[in-house]
Amino acid sequence: MITAGDFRNGVTFEEDGNVLQVIEFQHVKPGKGAAFVRTKTKNVITGSVIEKSYNPTAKFPTAFIERKDMEYSYNDGDIYYFMDSETYEMTPVNASDLGDNFKFVKENMVCKVLSYKGKVFGVEPPTFVELVVTQTDPGFAGNTATNALKPATLETGAEIKVPLFIEEGELVQIDTRTGEYLGRA
């Protein structure tokens, strides 16, 4: 059991049959009246975000989210298959359960598959990935005075902004949380 007074970012708990994860929280002690905890929570199954206030002494059962390292194997239409490295079992995941940052994942990359009581509800790609630039405009000499960026297409089909000196065929490092270029790999 966890109390609302113990809420921290990332804590998961059950309320009314829903599994909620705390995104933001704030302990409020008004001049008049009782203290309360203002939260922004995300339903981990549906993805909806709810703002709600709780009494700091309110108790909730803790929800344990299983995060398992699995290797992305292939996709068949809207179904993506992940392989358990220990049992070699394939786990199908719907495209709707994948985040926007999944566009940086290529085959054979290890991702964290998130599940609650056996139901997969999300996939976390690695935080940093190295991908090859497959298409970009050539850089021009003399255009290096500013932090100018140009569009580039990566081997997974994702598009990002890269500095002018990056050429096709180069290996670049990307932060999958923000989709930003970090440097040459």
With a CB cutoff of 8 Å and minimum separation 6, the contacts of 44 are 12, 19, 20, 21, 63, 65, 114, 116, 121, 122
Architecture per CATH, domain 128-184, reads as Beta Barrel (2.40)
Residue 39 confidence (pLDDT): 93
Q: Concatenated DSSP letters for 112-125?
A: EEEEETTEEEEEE-
Instruction: Place 146 in a pLDDT band, splitting at 50, 70 and 90.
Output: low
* Tokens standing for residue 83: 């392989």
What is the distance of C-alpha 122 from the center of its chain?
8
Residue 51 confidence (pLDDT): 93
Judge whether 82 and 76 are in contact, CB under 8 Å.
no
Residue 144 confidence (pLDDT): 58
Phi-psi map region of 103: left, alpha, beta (phi>0 left; psi -120 to 50 alpha): alpha
More confident residue, 147 or 22: 22
Three-state SS at 110: strand
Instruction: Place 142 in a pLDDT band, splitting at 50, 70 and 90.
Output: low
In the chain, domain spans: 2-60, 66-124, 128-184
* pLDDT, average across residues 161-175: 89
Instruction: Place 141 in a pLDDT band, splitting at 50, 70 and 90.
Output: low
Residue 163 confidence (pLDDT): 87
Q: 2-60 with 66-124: one CATH topology?
A: no
* pLDDT, average across residues 162-179: 88
Residue 81 confidence (pLDDT): 93
The yes-or-no verdict on residue 83 having pLDDT over 90 is yes
The pTM (predicted TM-score) of the whole model is 0.70
66-124 under CATH 3.40.50.1820, yes or no:
no
With a CB cutoff of 8 Å and minimum separation 6, the contacts of 4 are 37, 39, 54, 55, 56, 57, 58, 60
Distance CA 9, CA 127 (A): 18
Residue 119 confidence (pLDDT): 81
* pLDDT, average across residues 151-169: 89
Summarize pLDDT for 88-112 with one digit per residue, the tens: 999 898 888 787 888 899 889 999 9
Strand 79-84 and strand 90-94: the pairing is antiparallel
Query: What is the share, in percent, of the chain residues with pLDDT greater than 90?
Result: 31
Summarize pLDDT for 29-62 with one digit per residue, the tens: 988 888 999 999 988 877 788 999 999 999 999 9
In this structure, how many other beta carbons lie within 10 angstroms of the beta carbon of residue 117? 9
Give the gyration radius of the chain's Cα atoms: 21
Topology (CATH level 3) of domain 2-60:
SH3 type barrels. (2.30.30)
